[in-house]
């Protein structure tokens, strides 16, 4: 930040700026105009007033932070007024007397959000507010504000040690058959879910287990998950009588299965109805008119593969495919950013580029570093600061691919390989135009549909070989680029900015409401589209390093941990309310929960959705609300309890999780006790009878 971000001419002490928000903002805009940093008062004031109308910027402590970007502003500026009479900026504790106006140029990127996040962090410190209230001169005000905006000392962070843990699933293709495979129907199944962690392998296990109990199926399963998967050999595919696609994302290398009878559904159906899907695959193998896998992704695919995969479902699968391929970038990049903060300190985000490029192992940085012409003081120095900056730089590089990966693989799911390049190009353009992940979603769909359309053109044979590698990527990238630059870029950027502004303004009760909504979303389908939408929403802003984004990330991760832990605890407290299979799942579900794998609760929800899902949603909402109310921040996008070093304050994070677990556990036990599930109760009774001792049976 420039040292003259605020000057004495931009400070008004004990001023009477009127009794309304509009008059206060207008008077502050007048100060900015008076220093020559705005071309007119009315334009700047109107921009800030319109922004204020979306959501009040009052924060705890009798403070307000109206802010905006405006064409009238020539350089980033901060104006301050200590009012003689308070004005209602919709703050949580009454009228505001300390008011900051952050004015940024329209093309100033996220400058005002960066200033806002630093101010917000400083405003929680009572000594800073007291200094502003007690200052007798404008010079004192300027000194206090520049201290926190330009060289803010990192907050004391609670450091906890935690053992790293990971959950790895086998990724190789697995086969199960009968002793007489010549008499059995040979089936190849593909299972895949958006994250490639839980649903993928649960569906594979369900199909393999069911096939192993039958003598009419020779089944081979390929799991397209997140681990190092081994593809089914082409010879096995060629020999198959039918294929099963149990996926919530696009099937990788789908053309391998061209011409095979296909049964296609979401991944959860394979978990819940594996026998039915095998029966349908056997029937399809015997039916010459059964749906076939198309050799290429084309507009006729939906028709060839039946009405069960309409355009709505295909778009959903495409988006989930994009999220699936994006998650590794988020996980790797986010955890590296968190490690950078751990080694280098909480102020790492302010100077990582300079530290990682201007210094080396033989030229280590000290505490005071010159960044963009300004001297900044860092908490750490030497090896710790340099290694932290390198880790942060690597994490930023990974996070920089998020939007492009999202866009590229959405396009891939719709149009196959010809859609990848234009999808990545569209995602990069979305980042350039500040359209963020919303722009990535739009460019991915655009690239997919345009590539799909061009791929259906009838062209001469000599041109056909050039279509997928030259013509389709070229024309599609051109079309997406022109649409973004000429039509869609500015509206999408405005939408993204509005979303960021709204998040940054969240405080008090409004933040708690957001936490409740996110908690409900994380628990409503336990790893499904709604859950992934909340997760995408949280990770999208993580790289900015602002407090609001990190609080949303913490609320999402904490809420997602609740269902497996709560259900595991419930099986230990009241075993009689759960089937033997559920009790067995309960023995490991708690570890999945601690690792932030919400899918650990799926077996319970699949068996008893009307009792389990509402109970989990209630607990998730409580956790989200408590996490936001306590301003918990997470710099890591995954890892659960095992990334304690990246969560601040960690004690509040634990409180939020424990509160939600307690509510969900009590709720599910009450639902099962007072509204018993007859099927589960009968299974529990049978299990109880089997557990009787031999003497008891003889006596009976």
Catalytic residues: 67, 193
Q: Between the CA of residue 163 and those of 125, 496, 564, 645, 647, what are the distances in Å?
A: 32, 37, 20, 11, 15
Q: 161-173 burial by CB neighbour count: b if 16+ within 10 A, else e?
A: eeeeeeeebebeb
Give, rounded to a whole angstrom, the gap between the first and last alpha carbons of the chain: 84
Round to whole Å and give the CA distance between 144 and 54.
30
How far is residue 167 CA from its own chain's centroid? 20
For helices 311-344 and 382-399, angle between their N-to-C axes, nearest 10 degrees: 170
Is 326:254 a contact under the CB 8 Å cutoff? no
Among residues 327, 186, 176, 149, the alpha carbon closest in space to that of 249 is found at: 327
Q: Which two tokens stand for residue 459?
A: 């062209």
For 285, left (φ over 0), alpha (ψ -120 to 50), or beta? alpha
Is 661:619 a contact under the CB 8 Å cutoff? yes
Q: Which two tokens stand for residue 435?
A: 């359209």
Q: Which contiguous run of DSSP H or E holds residue 402?
A: helix 402-415
Q: Which contiguous run of DSSP H or E holds residue 246?
A: strand 242-247
Q: 394-416 burial by CB neighbour count: b if 16+ within 10 A, else e?
A: bbbebbebbbbbbbbbbbbbbbb
Round to whole Å and give the CA distance between 523 and 602.
10
Round to whole Å and give the CA distance between 405 and 413.
12
Round to whole Å and give the CA distance between 365 and 385.
7
Residues, the chain = 700
Q: What is the DSSP letter of 614?
A: H
């Amino acid at each position: 930040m420039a040292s003259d971000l605020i000057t004495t001419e931009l400070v008004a002490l004990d001023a009477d700026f009127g009794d309304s928000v509009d008059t206060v903002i207008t008077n502050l805009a007048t100060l900015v105009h008076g220093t020559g940093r705005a071309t007119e008062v009315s334009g700047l004031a109107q921009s800030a007033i319109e922004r204020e109308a979306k959501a009040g910027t009052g924060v705890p402590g009798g403070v307000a932070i109206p802010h905006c970007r405006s064409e009238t502003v020539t350089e980033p500026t901060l104006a301050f007024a200590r009012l003689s009479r308070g004005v209602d900026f919709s703050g949580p504790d009454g009228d505001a007397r300390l008011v900051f106006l952050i004015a940024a140029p329209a093309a100033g990127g996220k400058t005002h959000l960066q200033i806002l996040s630093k101010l917000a962090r400083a405003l929680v410190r009572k000594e800073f507010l007291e200094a502003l209230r007690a200052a007798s001169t404008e010079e004192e005000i300027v000194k206090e504000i520049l201290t926190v905006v330009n060289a803010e000392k990192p907050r004391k962070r609670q450091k906890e040690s935690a053992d790293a843990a990971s959950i790895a699933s086998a990724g190789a293709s697995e086969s199960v058959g009968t002793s007489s495979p010549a008499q059995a129907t040979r089936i190849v199944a593909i299972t895949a879910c958006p994250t490639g962690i839980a649903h993928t392998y649960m569906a594979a296990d369900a199909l393999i287990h069911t096939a192993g109990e039958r003598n009419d199926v020779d089944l081979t399963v390929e799991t397209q998950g997140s681990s190092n998967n081994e593809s089914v050999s082409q010879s096995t595919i060629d020999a198959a009588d039918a294929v099963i696609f149990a996926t919530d994302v696009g099937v990788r290398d789908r053309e391998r299965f061209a011409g095979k009878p296909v049964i296609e559904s979401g991944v959860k159906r394979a978990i819940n109805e594996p026998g039915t899907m095998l029966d349908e695959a056997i029937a399809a193998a015997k039916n010459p008119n059964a749906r076939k896998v198309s050799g290429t992704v084309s507009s006729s695919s939906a028709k060839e593969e039946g009405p069960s995969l309409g355009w709505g479902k295909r778009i959903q699968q495409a988006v989930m495919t994009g999220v699936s391929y994006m998650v590794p970038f988020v996980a790797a990049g986010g955890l590296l950013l968190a490690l950078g903060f751990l080694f280098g300190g909480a102020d790492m985000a302010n100077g990582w580029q300079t530290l990682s490029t201007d210094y080396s192992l033989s030229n280590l940085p000290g505490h005071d570093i010159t960044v963009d012409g300004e001297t900044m003081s860092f908490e750490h120095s030497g090896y710790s600061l340099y290694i932290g900056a390198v880790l942060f730089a690597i994490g930023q590089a990974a996070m920089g691919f998020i939007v492009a990966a999202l866009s590229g693989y959405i396009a891939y799911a719709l149009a196959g390989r010809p859609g990848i390049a234009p999808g990545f190009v569209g995602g990069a353009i979305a980042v350039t135009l500040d359209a963020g992940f919303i722009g990535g979603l739009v460019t991915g769909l655009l690239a997919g549909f345009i590539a799909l359309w061009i791929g259906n053109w009838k062209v001469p044979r000599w041109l056909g070989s050039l279509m997928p590698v030259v013509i389709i990527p070229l024309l599609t990238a051109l079309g997406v680029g022109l649409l973004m630059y000429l039509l869609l870029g500015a509206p999408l950027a405005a939408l993204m900015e509005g979303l960021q502004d709204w998040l940054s303004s969240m405080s008090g009760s409004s933040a708690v409401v957001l936490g409740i909504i996110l908690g409900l979303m994380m628990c409503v389908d336990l790893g499904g589209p709604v859950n992934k939408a909340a997760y995408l929403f949280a990770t999208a802003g993580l790289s900015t390093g602002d407090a609001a984004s990190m609080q949303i990330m913490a609320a999402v991760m904490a809420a997602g941990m609740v269902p497996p832990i709560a259900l595991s605890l419930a099986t230990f407290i009241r075993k009689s309310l759960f089937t033997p299979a559920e009790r067995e799942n309960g023995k490991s579900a708690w570890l999945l929960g601690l690792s932030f794998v919400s899918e650990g609760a799926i077996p319970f929800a699949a068996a008893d959705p009307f009792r389990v899902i509402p109970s989990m949603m209630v607990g998730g909402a409580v956790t989200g609300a408590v996490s936001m109310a306590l301003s918990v921040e997470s710099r890591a996008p995954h890892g659960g309890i095992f990334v304690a070093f990246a969560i601040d304050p960690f004690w509040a994070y634990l409180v939020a999780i424990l509160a939600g677990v307690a509510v969900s556990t009590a709720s599910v036990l009450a639902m099962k006790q007072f509204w018993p599930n007859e099927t589960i109760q009968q299974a529990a009774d049978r299990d109880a009878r089997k557990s009787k001792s031999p003497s008891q049976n003889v006596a009976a």
